[in-house]
Structure 1
Amino acid sequence: MTDQLQQTLDDATAVLRSALDGDGDAVVGTFDQVVDRSGLAGAYGVAWCLAATMVGDPPAAGTCALDFPDIDRVGYDTRWVARFVSAYANHDAATGEALFGAAVADGLLPDCLLTLAGSTVATLRSRGGPR
């Protein structure tokens, strides 16, 4: 395993630990540290890792047709998470990167990443994972 991959996994683990503790400030702080150390690409890697944690082993590329009834009625961050995780599930890194860039441009990336971390924890708990 490369040092960069190990660092991404360590950062994702730190984000999840903070989210499990209900410490949103620490989640955002960890992402800020990643950006300081590795730029937005590093934060994207951690976000992609969180999506992988939610989905597990994705099925064949392009086979996921995820249905989100009334998605336009939920907040930006919730829509973003649904679409970002869908991009991961469909092996669509280009869409994931576009969504990440849009959240940066809209000034909402911290909110989106916090929601992603919370959604990942909720998914783990629904599977009988850590409480």
Structure 2
Amino acid sequence: MTDEAQQTLDDATAVLHSALAGDGDAVVGTFDAVVDRAGLAGAYGVAWCLAATMVGDDAPLGGCALDFPDIDQADYDTRWVARFVSAYANDDADTGEALFGAAAADGLLPDCLLTLAGSTVATLRSRAG
């Protein structure tokens, strides 16, 4: 594993620990630190890692159809998370990158990343319970 890959995993772990503790400010702070250190590409790597955590190790990538009832009525950040995780599940990094860039351009990336972290924690909790 490269140092960069290990750093991405460490950052994703820090995000999850903060999210598990319910500390949204720390989640955003970790992402801010990643952006300061590695730019938006670094934050994208952490987000992609969170999506991988949500999908899980046993899910085959590609050709997935995820069901998100009434997603078009959801808030921007919720729609973004559904589409970003779907891009990951379908092994579609181009769409993931486009979604990430659009959220950044819209000024909504911090909200989207916070929702992604919360959704990842909720998924982990549902698997454990």
**Corresponding residue for 1:78?**
78
2:29 is matched with 29
Amino acid at match of 1:59: P
Distance 1:6 1:80 in 2: 26
Distance 1:4 1:64, change over 3 A: same
Report the CA distance shift for 1:48/1:60 in structure 2 as closer, same or farther (over 3 A).
closer
Q: Name whichever of 86-95 and 69-78 sits farther off.
A: 69-78
The equivalent residue for 1:7 is 7
Count of residue pairs the alignment pairs up: 128
Q: Measured at CA, do residues 111 and 9 of structure 1 come closer, stay the same or move farther in structure 2, by a change above 3 Å?
A: same
1:119 is displaced (CA, Å) by: 0.2
Give 1:67 shift.
Answer: 2.1
The alignment status of 1:59 with 2:63, answered yes or no, reads: no
Q: Which residue of 1 aligns with 2:90?
A: 90
Tell me the SS of whatever aligns to 2:91.
coil
Q: Which runs of 5+ in 1 are unaligned?
A: none
1:45 aligned partner:
45
Read off the aligned partner of 1:17 and give its amino acid letter. H
Cα deviation for residue 69 of structure 1 reads: 1.8
| Structure 1 residue runs of 4 or more that deviate by more than 3 Å after TM superposition | none
Q: In 2, distance between residues paired with 1:73 and 1:45?
A: 28
SS state of the match for residue 67, structure 1?
coil
What do you get for the CA RMSD once the two structures are aligned? 0.9
What stretches of structure 2 of length at least 5 have no aligned partner?
none
| Counterpart Cα distance in 2 of 1:46 and 1:103 | 15
Taking the aligned partners of 2:93 and 2:112, their CA distance within structure 1 comes to 17
Aligned to 1:115: 115
Q: CA deviation at 1:48?
A: 0.1
Structure 1 stretch 52-61 or stretch 36-45: which is displaced more? 52-61
Shift of 1:16: 0.2
How far apart are 1:60 and its partner, in Å?
Answer: 4.0
SS state at 1:22 partner: coil
Letter in 2 for 1:15: V
